[in-house]
Amino acid sequence: MSEKNYLPVLLPIRSVIFVLIFTVGSAIVNKELGEISHWWSVAATLVNIITVSVLVIAAKRHGRTYGELINYQRGRTKLRQVIAVTAVVLLVGMGVMYLAGFLCYRKFPYMAPMMIAPIPPALAVINALLLPITTALAEDGLYLGCGVGQIKNKTAAVLIPAFFFALQHSFIPTLFDIRFMLYRFLSFLPLTLILCLYYQKKRDPIPIMIGHAVIDTATVIWILVTSVIPGFYEKLLAM
């Protein structure tokens, strides 16, 4: 199978792995999916490491490096591009998430409570350092490098990777609740479309990766705060 046909086949891989991790994990610890949903960030870091490993191996099989797969070119990125893309990621990412929350739950602003639920403090510190970087490398490497960069049809090269980019969030965490899954999917689809379109035009992954890491940093800071300050999470839920 040729490279351009082979690499896009990897696009659903993260969705599949997340479902497996949560369903198998639920069975192992004998708890409902909702009871382990607060571990989503740790699961995400694990899946990120797996994803990057797969990308490195896939690129090597085709005589390329990970950097070549995502079309990284040293010294190409301009500061204004990073600032502009980061601003778009934050504004669209947060704005659409709240809009999706209103559409699905009739609450504004709404954020799924498990997304900032506490985990053991030491783990929260480690994950705060790992999650933003590994997510940018894994998600952008997969959906931009193996998707937008490989699919020949220009329209499909944006729509297909953007769809799977958004879809994976429906399983982070995995809860077989249609409303929750739709909320998560809608929260990210507009942003993934924008990012895939930007990458198709500019072929520069760095502004996207930095913007991606910034918005994920905001999330892990919330988790860190709720994890190290006793009772803070409960106060947030009561607001």
Q: Judge whether residue 46 has pLDDT over 50.
A: yes
Q: What is the pLDDT of residue 2?
A: 42
Least confident of 140-149, 185-194, 228-237: 228-237
Alpha helices in 106-239, H assignment, sequence order: 121-135, 154-167, 178-202, 206-228, 232-238
d(CA 164, CA 120): 31
Q: Judge whether residue 3 has pLDDT over 70.
A: no
Asked if 167 and 209 count as a contact pair (C-beta separation under 8 A), the reply is no
29, 34, 38, 44: CA torsion to nearest 10: 80
How many whole angstroms from its chain centre is CA 103?
21
In this predicted model, what pLDDT tens digit does every residue of 104-146 receive, in sequence order? 999 998 989 999 999 999 999 999 999 999 999 999 999 999 9
Q: What is the pLDDT of residue 214?
A: 97
DSSP 152: S
Q: 115, 69, 124, 119: which is closest to 93 by C-alpha?
A: 115
Q: 100, 220, 86, 94: which is closest to 170 by C-alpha?
A: 100
Residue with tokens 């694990």: 46
d(CA 47, CA 138): 8
Global confidence as pTM? 0.94
Q: b/e map of 2-14 (b: 16 or more CB within 10 Å)?
A: ebeeebbebbebb
Percent of the chain at pLDDT > 70 equals 98
CA angle 36, 37, 38 (to 5 degrees): 90
Q: Judge whether residue 62 has pLDDT over 90.
A: no
Overall domain count for the chain: 1
Asked if 58 and 146 count as a contact pair (C-beta separation under 8 A), the reply is yes
Q: 194, 210, 192, 191: which is closest to 202 by C-alpha?
A: 194
Q: Enumerate residues 6+ apart whose C-beta is below 8 A from 134.
A: 45, 48, 49, 52
Question: Looking at residues 66-82, what average pLDDT do you find?
Answer: 95
Parent domain of 210: 3-238
CB count within 10 Å of CB 109 equals 11
d(CA 148, CA 156): 8
Q: 58, 8, 70, 94: which is closest to 199 by C-alpha?
A: 70
